[in-house]
Amino acid sequence: MKTPESSIHFYKNDLPDDLNLGTSIAVDTETMGLNLHRDRLCLVQISSGDGRAHLVQLVPESLGGNGFHAPNLKRLLSDPNVTKIMHFARFDLAAIRQYLDVVATPVVCTKIAARLTRTFTDRHGLAALCRDLLGIELSKQQQTSDWGNPELTSEQLHYAASDVLYLHKLWKELKALLKRENRLTLAQECFAFLPTRAKLDLMGYDNPDIFSHRA
């Protein structure tokens, strides 16, 4: 499914001053790779669940941008009155903490919610969940493209937008499943721990994982 051009709002360096996205936002990130000590944060995607995506490209100072000085974006992500809906929040929280130096809480994670409820399958990726629960097909072609390019393509912007446009609807479906299976409180406890889990990852406690059983 391709996102209409009119629903994508693209900004360089920061969100505009007068943007009000309410008290619940979907958030995703794009980075140069999976090693956050090496691979910089390139893009932050946000949606309030109204069918529009707001994409903030963080341009390094060496390329004429403001680096990671994005006060409006940081203020929104760290606002304790705004719930952040993410998919695999563990990584996004770590990326945001590493490069924007803020802790994005409170947070809910649709991947954790799916793992707690959809125990009959091992398909917990965003594309699989959107297809199974919402009947929406997402393209993942741009997942491994060069997000550090100063000029992002239309295809990249559409891909990035799709990662946040459906998270509110997805969370609604998964929250209902958590309630049905009496696991909502357990999920909330997991969500509350995610910022600490992300901090541990950044400190190097992801490999080996201190929660795994190893000699």
Q: What is the mean pLDDT of the chain?
A: 94
What is the per-residue pLDDT across 90-112, written as a single tens digit (0 to 9) for each? 999 999 999 999 999 999 999 99
Mean pLDDT of all residues in 56-63: 92
The answer to whether residue 131 scores a pLDDT higher than 70 is: yes
Gap between the Cα atoms of 160 and 22, Å rounded: 21
Q: Which of 15-19, 165-169, 207-211 has the lowest mean pLDDT?
A: 207-211
Total-model pTM: 0.94
CA 77/CA 167 separation, integer angstroms: 16
Does the pLDDT at position 55 exceed 60? yes
Q: Which residues contact residue 164 at a Cβ distance below 8 angstroms, ignoring those fewer than 6 apart?
A: 26, 27, 28, 45, 46, 47, 53
Mean pLDDT over residues 190-207, rounded? 96
For residue 36, pLDDT over 80 is answered with yes
Q: pLDDT category, 212, cuts 50, 70, 90?
A: confident
Label residue 6 by pLDDT band (50, 70, 90): low
Whether the per-residue pLDDT at 142 is higher than 70: the answer is no
pLDDT at 5: 60
Domains delineated in the chain: 5-200 (3.30.420.10)
Number of CB atoms found within 10 A of residue 159's CB: 23
Percent of the chain with pLDDT over 70: 95
Q: Quick check: helix, strand or coil at residue 65?
A: coil
Give percent of the chain with pLDDT exceeding 90: 86
Give the tens place of pLDDT for each residue, 7-25: 999 999 999 999 999 999 9
**113, HSE (Cβ side, Cα atoms, 13 Å):** 29
